[in-house]
């Protein structure tokens, strides 16, 4: 039977890894059913509201429309435009919402994304192919690049395109992939809590963690009207007073009176307080370098003597209070 609740558990654990243009984010613990309630709108917001850059218009000297061709260029203009849309630009001055850049290319030459880098714009897909010119070709090209969100068809802004330019559908979003998974997790002997795992990949115009942070901020801003209207405040965690028997956790590990071999291994691992061992649990302690079977048995026995069994998980509020106190101690060092 489920316990009768009067308040919702607020997630406290947040961690992420970021490598290149890919990030994995883990958030927990959520009450049952709340994982998808939070994850789905954040995913939608990341996709729809992340700022990016795209060419919205181009002009080629000697070309009147997108179905034309240019002497000496292997591709016709339609194919050139398709290739150009694969180039991911980035305006270097983040305060600018629009720039116009001019290029001149003389053949023979194979044009790639890196050839479009200027003092005003960068290209995050430098190896992307655009066109091939023979020795008779000269390509004089002007591009208008704008900042925006999502996908905007050219029909929506055709009246803004300068005369002589060909309008382009604008795909601004720098998000290549954003997915989430929800896993069940154990909290205080209840296996029905949830962990949300996001995986985000961008094209390089923005880092995935930055995209996640901006999306969460945009999502929360959508609720600001309710907070203002009803004077709502987010739940504030009440200070939790640890029982006296937990004070030993904030003593240095010397208080365990370990053998020198065990103590030295913990010291080299950067562990200073008894509470750090209690928070780590048996599995993480067992992974500490140079701790053999006898040393592990000794550490577990000493912790048992102090009244802390690592086989039973700490309650969430107690664990959080220990973490906060240890962080405070380390901050004072």
CATH of region 244-332: 1.10.150.20
Model confidence at 225: pLDDT above 90 = no
Model confidence at 99: pLDDT above 90 = yes
- Please write the tens of the pLDDT for every residue from 141-197: 999 999 999 999 999 999 999 999 999 999 999 999 999 999 999 887 788 899 999
Domain 13-50+176-230 belongs to what architecture?
Answer: 2-Layer Sandwich (3.30)
Report the alpha-carbon distance of residue 174 to residue 50 in Å, rounded.
7
Report the alpha-carbon distance of residue 12 to residue 17 in Å, rounded.
17
What is the predicted pLDDT for the residue at 235? Answer: 56
Sign of the CA dihedral with 214 first, then 11, 245, and 273 last: negative
Start-to-end C-alpha separation, the chain: 46
Report the alpha-carbon distance of residue 33 to residue 257 in Å, rounded.
46
Nearest to 94 by CA among 51, 40, 140: 51
Sign of the CA dihedral with 281 first, then 284, 289, and 291 last: positive
Which tokens in the block code for residue 194? 């949830």
- Please write the tens of the pLDDT for every residue from 233-276: 665 555 567 888 889 999 999 999 999 999 999 988 889 999 89
Distance of CA 44 to the CA centre of its chain: 14
For the chain, the domains span 13-50+176-230, 51-171, 244-332
Which tokens in the block code for residue 93? 């001055």
51-171: CATH, from 3.40.47.10, 1.10.8.60, 2.170.120.12, 3.40.50.1700: 2.170.120.12
Phi, psi of 135 (to 5 degrees): -65, -15
What is the predicted pLDDT for the residue at 1? Answer: 44
Model confidence at 209: pLDDT above 70 = yes
What is the predicted pLDDT for the residue at 240? Answer: 62
- Please write the tens of the pLDDT for every residue from 36-95: 999 999 999 999 999 999 999 999 998 888 888 899 999 999 999 999 999 999 999 988
Q: Which of 51-65, 101-115, 264-278, 316-330 shows the lowest per-residue confidence on average (mean pLDDT)?
A: 316-330
Report the alpha-carbon angle 220-226-231, nearest 5. 110
Percent share of the chain, pLDDT over 90: 62
DSSP 6: S
Task: Tell me if the bond preceding 196 is cis, omega within 30° of 0.
Answer: no
């Amino acid at each position: 039977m489920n316990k009768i609740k009067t308040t919702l558990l607020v997630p406290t654990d947040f961690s992420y890894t970021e490598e290149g243009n890919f990030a994995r984010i883990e958030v927990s613990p959520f009450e049952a059913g709340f994982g998808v309630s939070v994850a789905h709108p954040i995913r939608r917001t990341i996709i729809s509201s992340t700022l990016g850059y795209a060419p919205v218009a181009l002009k080629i000297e000697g070309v009147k429309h997108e179905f034309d061709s240019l002497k000496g260029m292997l591709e016709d203009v339609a194919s050139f435009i398709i290739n150009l849309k694969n180039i991911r630009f980035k305006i270097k001055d983040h305060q600018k919402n629009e720039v116009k850049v001019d290029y001149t290319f003389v053949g023979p030459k194979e044009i790639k994304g890196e050839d479009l880098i200027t003092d005003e714009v960068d290209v995050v897909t430098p190896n992307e192919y655009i066109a091939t010119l023979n020795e008779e070709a000269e390509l004089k090209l002007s591009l208008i690049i704008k900042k925006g969100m999502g996908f905007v068809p050219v029909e929506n802004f055709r009246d803004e395109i300068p005369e002589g330019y060909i309008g382009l559908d604008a795909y601004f979003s720098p998000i290549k992939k954003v997915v989430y998974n929800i896993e069940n997790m154990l909290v205080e002997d209840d296996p029905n809590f949830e962990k949300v795992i996001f995986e985000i990949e961008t094209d390089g115009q923005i880092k995935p963690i930055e995209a996640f942070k901006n999306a969460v901020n945009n999502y929360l801003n959508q609720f600001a009207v309710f907070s203002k209207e009803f004077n709502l405040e987010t739940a504030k965690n009440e200070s939790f007073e640890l029982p006296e028997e937990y004070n030993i956790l904030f003593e240095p590990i010397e208080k365990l009176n370990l053998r020198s071999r065990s103590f030295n291994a913990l010291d080299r691992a950067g562990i200073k307080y008894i509470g750090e061992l209690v928070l780590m649990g048996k599995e993480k302690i067992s992974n500490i370098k140079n701790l053999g079977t006898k040393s592990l048995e000794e550490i577990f026995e000493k912790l048992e003597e102090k009244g802390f069994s690592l086989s039973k998980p700490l309650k969430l509020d107690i664990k959080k209070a220990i973490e906060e106190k240890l962080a405070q101690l380390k901050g004072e060092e």
